[in-house]
Chain A
């Protein structure tokens, strides 16, 4: 059974870099058609996709965060990681890692949904 588990500091100071790692167990991260992504949810609010990485290292990011985000993969450890720079209080959220199936429709372009999620980790930005 595939499981994802986030890890990293729960408190980050403003202007610093948030770093989280997601460890995948029960399956290989080197699987075709699946991307490995990060999403976040501010307390009491909705879901926002941050970005994702494919096992060969190709990435895609939400344009609203792209200038501050780096997502990388380590296939030897079956892990992928998120770095979000220059954080502010607005980046306080529960951060989830998730697997998402991604495909391509000739008529409409890329499609994707998230079929397996980590439990989430709360990251608070505060001095």
Chain B
């Protein structure tokens, strides 16, 4: 099975900072990655799919890049509501739809 490894596991940042989270696949997965945001006590929310496509309604400060084995989620200017845990998902990993272990972004 292909493993998805996120780094860092947590990051401390301030409002207005640029934050980058990395997800590495154990082998090439083309652009089959989605990113989710999970605020404390809330369900995950889809941010990006196909590595770079922004889900409808998601602010443009979120962006995704990468292909093959390395993918990044970037928040260009961190807002108070962005303090959350972020997960990547291998979207071509039927029948497990594997997730990364998560990256917590806190103050």
Contact = CB atoms under 8 A, between A and B. Distances in A.
Interface in A54-107: 60-64, 96, 100, 105
B107 interface: no
Contact of A46 (B30, B91, B96, B102): B102
Contacts of B100: 46
A63 B46 contact: no
Interface of B: 30, 32, 34, 36, 42-46, 49, 55, 87, 89, 91-92, 94-97, 99-102
A contacts with B: majority SS: strand
Contacts of B46: 113-115
Nearest to A62: B96
Given A46-B87, A108-B30, A115 B55 contact: yes
Interface of A: 46-49, 60-64, 96, 100, 105, 108-115, 117-120
